[in-house]
Structure 1
Amino acid sequence: MNHLTPQQIAELKRMLLEQKKELEDHFKFNGQENSSLGESLEVSTGELTSYDNHPADLGTETFERSRDMAINGTLHSQLDQINAALQRMKDGTYGICIASGKEIPFERLQAIPFTDHHMDYTPDREVSGSRPVEEQVMTLPPRGAGEVRQRNAGKFDDADAWEAVEDYGTSNTPAMAAKRNVKDYDDM
């Protein structure tokens, strides 16, 4: 820790403690110290529609709850990193990259006081390398199909949407048919 002056360490410690207090206050204020959101979706929303015929009514609630859980997970992870940084300060290893042993520049520590990696050794933070499962069942367009069709391979072609849906029936009656003199449903 010899590359950081006592004033720099004091500044960084102050920043870490401020961030820690903000995160702890967030969890305390929201009553989510463990960030698990405790109760079921039905209890938290007060909706009875989870029993009813309207599952779409809870769509927004489900989205909001998932978003809140993701945010809390991220904030909980950040709190863990802050606590680990404060422990490294106590141990005398703060400001040293855990991957390379290089000194982490003060400017980087000012920007991200809980970091434990030198800029050159920061691990990749790829969101996901996996592809949607739907791609396993999608078929490619036939050879020689147009450039746009090749680019949109596997996507539903909305030009034929009505024909695809009409095969399952419509609410039209012979009296409402677009053609004249329709006598029964088979003529439609």
Structure 2
Amino acid sequence: MNEKQLLQLKDQLTQELKDVKSRLHDESHLETTELSNYDNHPADNATDLTDQNTEMAIENHKEEEVEQIEDALQAMENGTYGVCTVCGEDIPFERLEALPFAQTCIDHANPDVDSESRPSEEALLGSTTDHPLKNEGGVRDYNNSFEEVEDFGSSDSPQDATKGNQKNFYKK
């Protein structure tokens, strides 16, 4: 990496640090949207709580991003910027351009991420349908769909008929 590229990345990191710090610690998102909780439905309070939790998670992410940017700027001062912390090889400029605070090369980035594994809950919960689409080999014919669900009742079934008309309901 040449001096011009290093200066470009330093400017990019400095600008990004300013942007993130300007958005950090904005307390307005932690306020409730209601003036009084006296006559609120519990769901309104739950919505406010969910919004506050989401904003706090975003705030934590911003703080981590500030820390990563500051670490990258410190590495520039130390002369270790652009060197993988795992293998010691140079990190390609293209990676640093896309992610200026990267500390590892692409081969050592997120080694614990397993995109093939599924959540453990899925083994207990099972499928959400009796016939998952991925297990059906072909295209399903939906022409008889009404007949399949009509077994569970419809507005034309005896339980919906008037009292005097139930005996003769199916006779034509």
Using the TM superposition, give the Cα deviation of residue 68 of structure 1 relative to its aligned residue in structure 2, in angstroms.
1.3
Percent identical pairs in the alignment equals 30
Q: 1:11 aligns with which of 8, 27, 32?
A: 8
User: After the TM superposition, which residues 1-188 of structure 1 pair with which residues of structure 2 at under 5 Å, given as runs?
Assistant: 4-27=1-24, 30-31=26-27, 44-49=32-37, 54-124=41-111, 125=113, 130-132=119-121, 136=124, 149-151=130-132, 179-180=162-163
**TM-score normalised per structure 1:** 0.59
Paired residues of 2:24 and 2:62 also in contact (CA < 8 A): no
Task: Say what the alpha-carbon RMSD is for the aligned residues.
Answer: 3.4
Unaligned runs of 5+ in 2: 134-148, 154-159, 165-172
Match of 2:156 in 1: none
Unaligned runs of 5+ in 1: 141-147, 153-158, 164-176, 182-188
Using the TM superposition, give the Cα deviation of residue 113 of structure 1 relative to its aligned residue in structure 2, in angstroms.
0.5
Using the TM superposition, give the Cα deviation of residue 96 of structure 1 relative to its aligned residue in structure 2, in angstroms.
0.3
1:94 partner SS: coil
Cα deviation digits, residues 63-91 of structure 1 (max 9, x gap): 32222122222221111110110111111
Closer, same or farther: CA 117–132 of 1 in aligned 2, 3 Å: same
2: CA distance between counterparts of 1:19 and 1:126? Answer: 29
Using the TM superposition, give the Cα deviation of residue 48 of structure 1 relative to its aligned residue in structure 2, in angstroms.
3.7
